[in-house]
Amino acid sequence: MTPGTPNLQSLALRHAARGFPVFPLVPGGKTPLPGCPRCRRSSPAYEPHDSAQCPCLLQGRWCHGFYAATLDPGLVRRWWPEPGAGRGVAIATGPARLVVLDVDRHPGTVPGADRILPGRPVTAAQATGVRDGLDVLRLLAGLCGEPDPAQGAATLTVRTPSNGLHLWFTAPAFTSWRSSAGGDHRGRSLGWQLDIRASGGYIVAPGTTTASGTYTVLGPHRHPQLLPTWLAGELTRTGHLLDTPARAERTDRPVPNRAAAAARATAVPGGRRGGAGGGAWARRTADTVIGQVLDCGRAPEGTGWSAVVNRAAFTFGGLVAAGHISEAAAHTALLDAALTARPHRRSAALGIIRSGLAAGARRALHPKDER
C-alpha cells in the first residue's frame, strides 16, 4: 500500500461496526462490483432469478450489489483482502436505517418554476435564483421556515467528487422511506437535483476514492442525526414514506429514554405566527404530548395508549391549524412516537392519528390557549 492510499478494508470494517451494511464497488467507480456470470445480466450465462433470494448471498458472495451488503467482519476481510485494494466501499441505506439527501450540482438547463419543487408553488422570481440542487434545497428550507440544512453542519455531511453534497440522516423509528431521483418528474421527487437514497438504494461511503476524487466529510459531525421533522414531512408529502416498512429492513429499537424523547420532540418545528414566543411554546407543547405517548412504551398495557395518542393528535391538529407545523410533519412525528410505544399497532395508530388531527384542526392552537 503506497503512502496516502486509503485503507479500504479498515474503512469497510469501521462502517460495518457502526451498523451500516457494506458491499464493494468497482475500483475507481461507484457501481457495485459485478457478481458471478450466473447473476450478471450482461453475461451469456445469466439465469433470471430473484436477486434478494439468490443462493450466492448465502454463500457469502457480493452478487446483486446492496442485497449482498453485510455486517460480518469475516466477509468484509474476504471482500477487501488487501488494505489498499481499489474496491470502494458502499453502504446499503435501507438496512442501515439511513435517509441520505443527495444534493447534485450538475450544470444544465433549469426546469420551469412548476418543476423545481413538485407540489410546491415557486414564483418566477424565486426560480431565477436556482442554478443547481444546492439552491433548490435552500429554497425548500426557506419555504418551510427552516434554516438551510447544507449550512451550519446539521448532520454528517459529505462532499462528493462533483462538488455535490450527501446529507446523512437516520430514519425515525419504525419508518421506511423510498429512494428517488430528483430529475424524475414522472414519479415522486423532492426537488430538481435532489435525490433520496433510502430503501432499495445505496450510498458511497466517505473515504472512498473514485476516478473523479474522494468522498470527504465536512463539518463537525461524524455521525448522522435524526431526520428533521420538517424534512420528514416533505418526504411524506412527496410520497417517499413507505406505508409498510420493508420486512428485510426492519430493526428492533428500544423505547427511548426521556432525554431521547425530548430531543425527538424538539425537532418539531415551532410556529411562524403569533410572535417570537410562539415557536418556543409550540415546541414545549409538542415535547409534552410526544413524551406522553412515548411514556406508554414503559408498560405493555394499561397505559391508555389509544387515548394518549388521540389527545396528542388532537393537540397537533391545533398546531397544524395555527401554522406551527405542517400536517405531513405532524403525522410523521405522531406515528413515530405511537409505534415506538406500541410497535405492533400500526393500523390502529394510523386511524387514531388521522381522526385526531382532523378533529384538532377545527380549532387553531395558540399560546393564549395554554391552560
Residues with Cβ within 8 Å of residue 72, at least 6 apart in sequence: 16, 60
**Ordered domains of the chain (ranges, CATH):** 8-89 (no CATH), 98-237 (3.30.2250), 254-369 (no CATH)
- Residue pLDDT tens, the chain, 371 long: 444 456 889 999 999 999 899 999 999 999 999 888 988 888 898 888 888 888 888 888 888 888 899 998 989 999 998 765 688 999 999 999 999 999 999 888 889 888 999 989 999 999 998 999 999 999 999 999 999 888 867 899 999 999 999 999 999 877 889 999 865 544 679 999 999 999 989 999 999 999 999 999 998 888 999 999 899 999 999 999 987 555 434 333 333 333 333 334 434 444 444 444 457 788 888 888 888 888 888 777 777 888 889 999 999 999 989 888 878 778 878 888 888 888 778 888 888 998 899 999 988 888 865 54
What pTM did the predictor assign? 0.69
